[in-house]
Structure 1
Amino acid sequence: MALPLHKQASSIVYYIALLALISLFNSCSCSEYKRLNYSDAPSSWGPASVTWYGAPTGAGPDDNGGGCGFKNVNLPPFSSMTACGNPTIFKSGKGCGACYQVKCTSHPACSGKPSTITITDACLDGVCLDAPVHFDMSGTSFGSMAQPGREDELRHAGKLQIQYTRVPCNYPGLNIAFHVEEGSNPVYFAILIEYEDGDGDLASVDLMEGAGPTAGTWTPMRESWGAIWRLDSDHALQGPFSIRLSTLTSGKTLVASNVIPADWQPLSTYRSIVNYSN
């Protein structure tokens, strides 16, 4: 039986409204997805546990280094705001250089305000395996979660439950640097890579020689340990060297052309003119 005209009109209006609502919902979902994109804003907060090690106001390791190979992490730009990551965070070294925000509300001395830390070391056993995500922080970074003047009180708590989120790294005024490691020679070349804006982590590194039999060809390097990558060559490497980096988190690629000169020396640092924020 046919519907009366006024009911047909009501049905048409209903379906038009329904389609408009669906369209609006889809539009909002798309906008929300973009807003939460890691590269644009911090991702959602999750639970983690934290401890601290080293001197109460130090950078963690006694030598101001750590399992990522970074040096002088007590000095800018790290400024002791560092942490070890458990296996979930350290990722067999590929998590080195990643940046996080942490905050605590589980202790009376907590400020509830976020602090930004960089992964510079590893904690792969003991208390660091008691939770899916654990940070063993420097004394300085642990204390930074406290209300002013209550840093020691918070450190005396020992172990805390906190919230954490991944954030882009930011090194104002710095471009990516390559430190040629001790022991490097014409057939063994190792570099420490640091100060990558954005993701901060690396999935792969390739080297291109400027001369010799493989000039102009990208050769994969392999992770030696932490943030140190190496190339064992079957011939004497000839510079200058270009380095291609691909990040772990978002897969972004960047090339530092001819960044390491032909007369490179071990224990020297060569600074590029590029970064992921450029």
Structure 2
Amino acid sequence: MAPPPAGLVVSLLLAAVASAGVANAGGAKALTPGGRVVHHNHGKFTAGPWKPAHATFYGGRDGSGTTAGACGYKDTRAEGYGVQTVAVSPVLFGDGAACGGCYEVRCVDSPDGCKAGTAAVVVTATNLCPPNYQQSGDNGGWCNPPREHLDLSMPAFLQIAQEKAGIVPVSYRRVACVKQGGIRYTITGNKYFNMVMVTNVGGAGDLAAVSVKGSKRVKWTELKRNWGQVWQTGEDLTGESLTFRLMTSDHRKATSWHVLPTDWQFGVTYQADKNF
């Protein structure tokens, strides 16, 4: 039998590809353990666009008064964030979704307020700057919606601006968080109610989803945000080696396989081998 013409072969192949594409389009989308659509977004976190805002400062010259707050961090010094931190206004905070994200901030358009010759400072969002509705947004109520405002720790503020200025115009953008070592996990609570603190997250730094899986009976279970970077579940996680899967705001994912041993303890911090 003579082989079919080359043109016919090509046509058949194109028809098969098109048919497969239609079938796939009508099929179910891949989901995460919690039911979210899987986004195939690979590579590294890239910096966002520069945006205008204003910056103030809070706490002491040594960063005192800034090492805890609305993100759930207990001590930013001990947890690796130091005092290069910022409390962001509610518009940026997003009910805790911004916690752990990193920002590059530079002072602009204020000859008397900006420090001459300084470039920018990189800070991590670790707290909320609450609104003050007793004052207007342009006179004291700096963090009132819809303002995008950055309330820097005093050590961070003094790297780019004069203390006497109090408030300065800035340009800021999201940047990748550069971390040493792997992602860290600390579980507090009890076997009936677990709160998982996730720290030292690289890449985007913030988290959009957290799931856990045990080595025996616990199947993939999605945790709920309790507050900031503290995530909760009522699943009994005791007596099992635990694996965590994270998704950052840019849809990138990391899985910390068996990061907690079978005999893990409440209040102890365990570090994964990898990071974003």
TM-score in terms of structure 1 length: 0.74
Shift of 1:158: 1.1
1:156 match: 164
2:211 match: 206
Paired residue secondary structure (2:157): helix
Paired residue secondary structure (2:270): strand
Query: 2:81 corresponds to which letter in structure 1?
Result: F
User: Contact 2:45 / 2:204 at 8 angstroms: preserved in 1?
Assistant: no
Write the distance in 2 (CA, Å) between the matches of 1:42 and 1:258.
31
Could you list the runs of 5+ residues in structure 2 that have no partner in the other structure?
1-42, 133-140
Structure with max Cα Rg: 1
Deviations 1:31-74 (A, max 9, x none): xxxxxxx946532211011111111231543xx21211223224
User: Contact 1:210 / 1:238 at 8 angstroms: preserved in 2?
Assistant: no
Which residue of 185, 193, 199 maps to 2:198?
193
2:17 match: none
**Is 1:240 equivalent to 2:241 in the alignment?**
yes
1:230 match: 232
Which residue of 67, 76, 90 maps to 2:70?
67
1:258 match: 258
Query: 1:255 corresponds to which letter in structure 2?
Result: T
Identity %: 28
User: Contact 2:214 / 2:237 at 8 angstroms: preserved in 1?
Assistant: no
Shift of 1:237: 4.5
2:183 match: 176
Query: 2:243 corresponds to which letter in structure 1?
Result: S
User: Contact 2:58 / 2:154 at 8 angstroms: preserved in 1?
Assistant: yes
Shift of 1:83: 0.6
Which residue of 119, 124, 130 maps to 1:118?
124
TM-score in terms of structure 2 length: 0.75
Query: 1:43 corresponds to which letter in structure 2?
Result: G
Deviations 1:60-101 (A, max 9, x none): 43xx21211223224573221001011122111111000000
Write the distance in 1 (CA, Å) between the matches of 2:45 and 2:190.
41
1:218 match: 220
Write the distance in 1 (CA, Å) between the matches of 2:154 and 2:47.
24
Which protein, 1 or 2, shows the higher relative CO under an 8 Å CA cutoff with sep ≥ 6? 2
1:44 match: 49
Query: 2:266 corresponds to which letter in structure 1?
Result: P
> Whose helix fraction is larger, Structure 1's or Structure 2's?
1
Distance 1:207 1:236, change over 3 A: closer
Distance 1:268 1:195, change over 3 A: same
